[in-house]
Amino acid sequence: MARPALTGSRIRRYRIDRGIKQAELARQCEISPSYLNLIEHNRRKIGGALLNSVAAALEVDTTTLSEGAGAAMTSALDVAAGGFVAAGREIERSEDFAGRFPGWAQLVIQQQARVAELERLVETLNDRLTHDPFLSASLHNVLSTVTAIRSTSGILATGDDIEAEWQARFHRNLYEDSQRLAESTEALVGYLDAGGDADRTLSLPGDELEAWLTDLDWRIEAFEEGRDVDVSEVIGEAGSVLTSSAARTLAARFLERYRADARALPGADLEDAVMAGERDPMRLAARFSVDLPCAMRRMATLPGRFFKGGLPPGLVICDGSGTLTFRKPVRGFEPPRFGASCAMWPLFQALQRPLTPVRTELSLVGQDDVRFETWSIATSDYVAGFDKPPVVESTMLLMPVLAQVGAEDVPFQVGTSCRVCAITDCPARREPSILMQSDTMV
C-alpha cells in the first residue's frame, strides 16, 4: 500500500541523486523554490500536472514518484520491525527507507528471514533434544558407557596389585566398553548429521507417515478419483518411505479414514463449493450431510490454489490426553514434532467443551505476516461400548490469511511450545522459555 505523503521525499532523493539544484528544478517546473522545498519535506501535497512536470524534469516515471517502493518490500520491512518495540516510532518511514536505500532494505528483509529460519531451527532442535526417544536413548547409552570406562580405568590406575585373572577381565571390559562407546557415538553422529535435514529425519513411525504424505502433497489421488483401490495397494506404492511396520499400520489407519471421508464428501463436489466461495466448514458439513470433523479433514486435502494467497490449510488432531495424533503443517504454523504443544491453542479449548465448535483468529508469535482463521471441535465416540469410556478426539483446521499491511487489529497470539515461546505473560506457561528475555519479546 503506497503512502502518498512520502512523494516529496522521493522527489528530493531523485533530485539529489541527479545533481540538480532545488532552484533549477523549481524553475523547470515553473514553481517557486520555497514551494518545492515544502513539497520535498512532505508539507505540501503534489499531484496532477505538477507531478508530471517534476517526473519529466527528473526523468523518472510518475508512478515511481507517487508509489515508491513496492508494497511487498514495504510489507516485509513492517514485519521485520513489528517484533521490536524500539522500531515502533520509525515503522511509518519504512517506505522512505526502502525507496532511499533499496539495497539496505533488502538486507534487512533477508536478515529477518534468516532470523525466522534460525528460530524455527532452535525450536526443532529443542524439541528433539527434549523429546526425541532415539536421541535420549543414545545419549543415555553414551553416558553409561563413559561411566563404565571411567570406573574400570580408575581401578586399574590405582597401582594396587591385581590378580592376573582380574586384570585380564578389567582389560577385556575396558576394550568392550570402548568398542561400544565408539559404535554408540558413531550412530549418534550419523543421526545428528541426518538432522541437518530435520524435516526428513524419520526417527518415529509418525515421521515416516508425514514424510510420505508430504511427498503426495497430502492427497491420495486414487481415492479422490473414486477408484476402487485397496488400502494395501496404496501402501505398497509408498516404496521405501514407509519402512517400519508401525508406520504402515498408521498409514493404513489414515487411509481407511481418508477413503471413508472421500466417499462421504467427494473431492469434485467440495472443490466446486469452495471455488464458489464457500469456505466455512460448518456450512459445508451441513450442505453435504457429513459431520464437522469430516468436512474439516476434507478441506485440509485441497491444494493452495483454491484459497486466497495460494496457501493450503493446515490440520491438527489430538486425542483425549492432548497428544497430537496428526499434524499437517502450514506456512507460519508448524506444530512440535515430539514435545507438548501450546496449551492456548483452540484445539485444546475445544477438548474442554466436546461438541461445541470453536472459531478463533490467531497468529503465531513472531509470524506477523500470516494469521490463521481456525475452526476446532472435539467429538466423542463410544467404540468400546455404551458403558465404556469414550474415545475423545479434537480437530483444528487452520486457514492462512495474509495480514494486511498497516492492519492495527492484533489477533490472539499463541506459541508452539513453552520452551521456545516469546510470550512473557502467558497464563498457561509450564516452563521458562530458552529465548532471551528482552524488550523485543511480546
Per-residue model confidence as pLDDT tens digits over 273-292: 999 989 999 999 999 999 99
pLDDT value, residue 184? 80
DSSP string, 2-47: --GGGHHHHHHHHHHHTT--HHHHHHHHTS-HHHHHHHHTTSS---
Verify that 428 and 365 share a domain, yes or no.
yes
Instruction: Characterise 290 by phi-psi region: left (phi > 0), alpha (psi -120 to 50), beta (else).
Output: beta
Nearest residue to 58 via CA among 20, 102, 22, 88: 20
Element (H, E) at 297: helix 292-299
Strand segments, DSSP code E, in 295-403 are: 314-319, 324-328, 358-364, 370-381, 391-402
| Count of structural domains, the chain | 3
pLDDT value, residue 200? 46
Nearest residue to 224 via CA among 266, 196, 170: 266
Asked if the structure places residue 276 within a domain, the reply is no
Asked if the structure places residue 286 within a domain, the reply is no
Q: What percentage of the chain carries pLDDT values higher than 70?
A: 81
pLDDT value, residue 155? 81
Domain boundary among 78, 111, 144: 111
In this prediction, residue 199 has a pLDDT band, given cuts at 50, 70 and 90, of very low
Q: How far apart are CA 366 and CA 358, in angstroms?
A: 24
What is the mean pLDDT of the segment spanning 92-104? 72
Q: How far apart are CA 75 and CA 368, in angstroms?
A: 10
Sign of CA dihedral 209, 323, 201, 421: positive
Neighbours of 202 (CB within 10 A): 19
Verify that 96 and 173 share a domain, yes or no.
no
Domain boundary among 171, 195, 219: 195
CA distances in angstroms from 225 to 192, 229, 354, listed in the order given: 41, 10, 33
With a threshold of 0.75, does the pTM exceed it? no
Q: Long-range contacts: 380-386, Cβ < 8 Å, 24+?
A: 380/354, 380/355
pLDDT value, residue 260? 96
Give yes or no for a contact between 372 and 363, defined as CB atoms under 8 angstroms apart. yes
Verify that 434 and 402 share a domain, yes or no.
yes
Asked if the structure places residue 182 within a domain, the reply is yes
Q: How far apart are CA 300 and CA 162, in angstroms?
A: 70
Verify that 311 and 415 share a domain, yes or no.
yes
pLDDT value, residue 195? 55
Give yes or no for a contact between 393 and 320, defined as CB atoms under 8 angstroms apart. yes
Asked if the structure places residue 17 within a domain, the reply is yes
Hey, is 193 helix, strand or coil? helix
What is the mean pLDDT of the segment spanning 96-109? 78
What is the mean pLDDT of the segment spanning 156-172? 82
**What is the domain extent for residue 342?**
305-442
Q: Are strands 391-402 and 412-414 parallel, antiparallel or unpaired?
A: unpaired
In this prediction, residue 297 has a pLDDT band, given cuts at 50, 70 and 90, of very high
Per-residue model confidence as pLDDT tens digits over 301-356: 999 888 877 889 999 999 999 989 999 998 888 888 766 788 999 999 999 999 99
Verify that 11 and 95 share a domain, yes or no.
yes
Verify that 413 and 311 share a domain, yes or no.
yes
Mean pLDDT of the chain: 82
